[in-house]
């Protein structure tokens, strides 16, 4: 087909609201430009086609929701869950550096095909590390929402708590599942399998799982985006680090990030004029985003149960003091 013929058919597909045909023709037009060695035009068209947040994946790359969820043979427990989220990227407050690094991962994922024309692959084995409550699990949920692809949440408890010898089979089932489509996969809190392989207290079975996981990660050549998270990066075996294309570190929020977080979490309620968010941000230095969220929820609850429709500085002061007492008791 010539360019003109494709464009005519594109218009027809659009007016018939035939989305499949529209994308097929658009891809054909892009390929035609590539064949003419108009690489920049092809790249621009591709970006325009997939510009919206809900990435559309070619039919052969799309995730398949009709594949059965793998289960442990003995217990029958599901080894993973498919979870759908609807979070906006703006709900995630990170340092500019971390936010940029995350966006690069997403852009790489979206640019899969154009990268392939240069014989390149996007980074798709990512390790998230950082203190509890800094947004590792939440970031995976935001990425899944942004790309419009369900999150495959891998349940390590189910994988490991099975009968001896079953764990390797279970891991294989999980990798088989994720190789069978394009998913955002979260191996959450991998510490349980990622602990230093020389740790004397570990059983042979767990060591085998670690080795297995590493091998499967190494051999994985699918297009899914695999994220593993940990809040104990220091106990991870150096061999694990090498397996990942990228390591993203989630830090505690600085003062200006705390201001943004406080504004975000206090949004649901009217605020009295005496509330000074800058001051509260100043006083919450060691707080994680998750701590700030709980503190704001407590303050809002305090206002409501005391029959006030707007929140005052004393509500916030009360929950802040309670929280500080709790933090002082925390040992992690
Ligand atoms: N950077 C952030 N921006 C906005 N909200 C956040 C952020 N980090 C955490 N939160 C909020 O705190 C909640 C808990 O955070 P999350 O579960 O992502 O922490 P985590 O880093 O996975 O911690 P853990 O190591 O304990 O698993 C999230 O659901 C979200 O509401
Ligand atoms: Mg988590």
Tell me how far apart the alpha carbons of residues 133 and 155 are, in angstroms, rounded to a whole number.
Answer: 19
Span 146-172, average pLDDT: 82
Q: Which residues pair with 153 in a beta bridge?
A: 81, 186
Residue 182 · residue 63 · CB < 8 Å: yes
Report pLDDT for 102.
97
Q: In what order do the strands lie in the sheet with 246-250?
A: 80-83, 151-154, 184-187, 225-230, 125-130, 246-250
Of ligand 1's listed atoms, the one at least distance from the Cα of 93 is: 3
Q: Highest mean pLDDT range out of 131-135, 176-180, 206-210?
A: 131-135
For a pLDDT cut of 90, what percent of the chain falls above it? 53
For a pLDDT cut of 70, what percent of the chain falls above it? 86
- Cα of 142 to ligand 1 centre, how many Å? 11
Q: Which residues pair with 125 in a beta bridge?
A: 226
Whether the pLDDT of residue 140 is over 70: the answer is yes
User: Given CA atoms 163, 221, 109, 113 in this order, what sign does their dihedral have?
Assistant: negative
Least confident of 91-105, 205-219, 250-264, 284-298: 205-219
Least confident of 38-47, 205-214, 245-254: 205-214
The residues lining ligand 1, judged by C-beta closer than 6 Å to any ligand atom, are: 91-94, 132-138, 189, 231, 250, 289-290, 293
Whether the pLDDT of residue 155 is over 80: the answer is no
Whether the pLDDT of residue 130 is over 50: the answer is yes
CA-closest residue to ligand 1 atom 27: 132
Whether the pLDDT of residue 107 is over 90: the answer is yes
In order of 175, 242, 244, 281, the CA distances from 218 in angstroms are: 11, 10, 9, 43
Sorting pLDDT into bands at 50, 70 and 90, what band is 204?
low
- Cα of 132 to ligand 2 centre, how many Å? 7
Tell me how far apart the alpha carbons of residues 169 and 19 are, in angstroms, rounded to a whole number.
Answer: 40
Report pLDDT for 243.
85
**Which ligand is nearest to the Cα of residue 232, counting in written order?**
1
Sorting pLDDT into bands at 50, 70 and 90, what band is 56?
very low
Sorting pLDDT into bands at 50, 70 and 90, what band is 110?
very high
Of ligand 1's listed atoms, the one at least distance from the Cα of 189 is: 27
Give long-range contacts, CB 8 A cutoff, 24+ apart: 146-149: 146/53, 146/89, 146/106, 147/53, 147/54, 147/55, 147/106, 147/109, 147/110, 147/184, 148/53, 148/54, 148/55, 149/55, 149/57, 149/63, 149/182, 149/183, 149/184
Report pLDDT for 54.
46
Span 283-299, average pLDDT: 95
Report pLDDT for 192.
65
Indicate the SS3 state at residue 61: coil
Whether the pLDDT of residue 60 is over 60: the answer is no
Whether the pLDDT of residue 36 is over 80: the answer is yes
**Which ligand is nearest to the Cα of residue 91, counting in written order?**
1
Higher-confidence residue of 212 and 305: namely 305
Both tokens assigned to 236:
């991870």
Whether the pLDDT of residue 83 is over 80: the answer is yes
Of ligand 1's listed atoms, the one at least distance from the Cα of 188 is: 27
Whether the pLDDT of residue 306 is over 60: the answer is yes
Tell me how far apart the alpha carbons of residues 209 and 213 are, in angstroms, rounded to a whole number.
Answer: 6
Whether the pLDDT of residue 52 is over 90: the answer is no
- Cα of 136 to ligand 2 centre, how many Å? 5
Whether the pLDDT of residue 193 is over 60: the answer is no
- Cα of 155 to ligand 2 centre, how many Å? 12
Residue 284 · residue 166 · CB < 8 Å: no
Q: Highest mean pLDDT range out of 62-71, 76-85, 200-209?
A: 76-85
CA-closest residue to ligand 1 atom 11: 290
Higher-confidence residue of 297 and 193: namely 297
To test the pocket of ligand 1, the residue of 85, 290, 291, 293 to mutate (highest count of ligand atoms within 8 Å of its CB) is 290
Report pLDDT for 214.
79
Report pLDDT for 58.
44
Residue 164 · residue 205 · CB < 8 Å: yes
Whether the pLDDT of residue 301 is over 90: the answer is yes
- Cα of 95 to ligand 1 centre, how many Å? 14
Taking Cα atoms as reference points, which of 94, 115, 130 lies closest to residue 46?
Answer: 115
Both tokens assigned to 102:
């995350």
Token look-up 């990227």 returns: 89
- Cα of 306 to ligand 1 centre, how many Å? 29
**What are the E-state strand segments in the chain?**
80-83, 125-130, 151-154, 184-187, 225-230, 246-250, 270-271, 310-311
């Amino acid at each position: 087909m010539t360019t003109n013929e494709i464009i005519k058919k594109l218009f027809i597909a659009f007016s018939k609201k035939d989305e499949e045909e529209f994308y097929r023709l658009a891809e054909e037009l892009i390929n035609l430009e590539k064949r003419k060695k108009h690489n920049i035009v092809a790249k621009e068209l591709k970006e325009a086609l997939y510009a919206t947040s809900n990435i559309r994946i070619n039919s052969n790359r799309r995730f398949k929701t009709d594949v059965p969820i793998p289960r442990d043979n003995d217990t029958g427990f599901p080894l993973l869950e498919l979870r759908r989220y609807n979070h906006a990227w703006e709900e995630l407050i990170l340092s500019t550096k971390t936010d940029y690094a995350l966006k690069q991962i997403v852009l790489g994922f979206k640019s899969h095909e154009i990268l392939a024309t240069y014989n390149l692959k996007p980074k798709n084995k990512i390790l998230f590390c950082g203190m509890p409550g800094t947004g590792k699990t939440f970031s995976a949920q935001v990425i899944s929402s942004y790309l419009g692809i369900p999150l495959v949440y891998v349940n390590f408890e189910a994988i490991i708590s099975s009968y001896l010898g079953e764990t390797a089979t279970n891991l294989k089932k999980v990798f088989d599942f994720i190789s069978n489509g394009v998913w955002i996969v979260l191996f959450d809190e991998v510490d349980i399998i990622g602990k230093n392989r020389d740790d004397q207290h570990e059983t042979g079975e767990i060591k085998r799982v670690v080795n297995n996981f590493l091998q499967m990660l190494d051999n994985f050549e699918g297009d899914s985006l695999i994220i593993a998270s940990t809040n104990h990066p220091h106990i991870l075996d150096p061999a694990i680090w090498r397996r990942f294309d990228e390591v993203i570190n989630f830090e505690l929020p600085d003062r200006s990030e705390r201001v943004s977080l406080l504004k975000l979490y206090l949004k649901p309620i009217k605020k009295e004029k005496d509330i000074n968010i800058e001051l509260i941000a100043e006083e919450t230095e060691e707080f994680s985003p998750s701590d700030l969220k709980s503190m704001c929820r407590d303050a809002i609850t305090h206002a409501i149960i005391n029959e006030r429709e707007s929140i005052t500085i004393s509500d916030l002061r009360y929950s802040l003091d309670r929280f500080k007492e709790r933090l002082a008791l925390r040992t992690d």
